[in-house]
Amino acid sequence: MKVAKSFDFQLSTPGTKAIAGTGRNQLNKQRFSTGRCFLMYLKEPQIELIKTYLQEQIAPYLIIIFGSALTGKMLPDSDIDIAFLAEQKFSAYKLFMIGQHLADKLGRDVDLVDLNTASTVFQARVLTTGKVIYCTDETKRMLFYMLTLKKYARLNEERKQIIDRIAIRGTRYDQ
């Protein structure tokens, strides 16, 4: 686990004045004293750093940002969720190390996911909620999208009875 580094910030929410400070402790004091949660977005220089670093390290043809960094619900201690597609296969250790080096450069944790090895449900979620920040082969991207969403639709057909029972009962478990 990466230890958080100190960082400068200036944050505000509707109806509150902006606060400024350095580091996690200042923000946590403000958050706990006001009961408010301060939200941030991933900024363009960070996106450029992600694209440049991943191009050098893994040569992806597709990079997608997803999760709180995209939705604006990112907190100072939130990680950055990044998915990619590349021709080359990477070991879990290699991806972990690439993610850790990128985290050091960004100053926050990174969750780096190879979509080729992710589950169909996870792939579909990333493709439908994420934002493409880099693509060098639109044909491969579209093919991957079509195949993934087709597999996801088939999976939903196969588990329709289970999903219907959950909807009726309101729970996944028998009571």
Name the 3-class secondary structure at 35.
coil
Structure tokens at 9: 């910030």
State pLDDT tens for residues 41-85. 788 999 999 999 999 999 999 999 999 888 878 888 889 999 999
CATH of 44-168, one of 3.40.47.10, 3.30.460.10, 3.40.120.10, 3.40.630.30: 3.30.460.10
Residue that is written with structure tokens 């946590």 in the block = 28
The yes-or-no verdict on residue 163 having pLDDT over 90 is no
Residue where the block lists tokens 């597999």 = 151
Average pLDDT of every residue of the chain: 81
User: What is the model's pLDDT at position 39?
Assistant: 57
Of 2-11, 62-71, 151-160, the range with the lowest mean pLDDT is 2-11
CA dist 47 and 58 (Å) reads 16
Residue 172 confidence (pLDDT)? 65
CB atoms within 10 A of CB 36: 15
Higher pLDDT residue, 57 or 37? 57
Output 11 or 168, whichever has higher pLDDT.
Answer: 168
pLDDT digits (tens, 9 = 90+) for 103-112: 999 999 999 9
**Within 13 A of 130's CA, how many CA atoms are on the CB side?**
22
* Cβ partners under 8 Å of residue 70, min gap 6: 42, 81, 129, 130, 131
Among residues 28, 23, 101, 109, which one has the least CA distance to residue 68? Answer: 109
Task: Give 11-35 pLDDT, tens digit per residue.
Answer: 433 443 333 333 443 344 333 333 4
DSSP single-letter state for residue 40: B
Query: Which position has the token pair 């606060």?
Result: 19
Res. 170 pLDDT band, cuts 50 70 90? confident
The pair of three-digit structure tokens given for residue 106, joined into one six-digit string: 């960004």
pLDDT tens, residue by residue, 114-134: 999 999 999 999 999 999 999
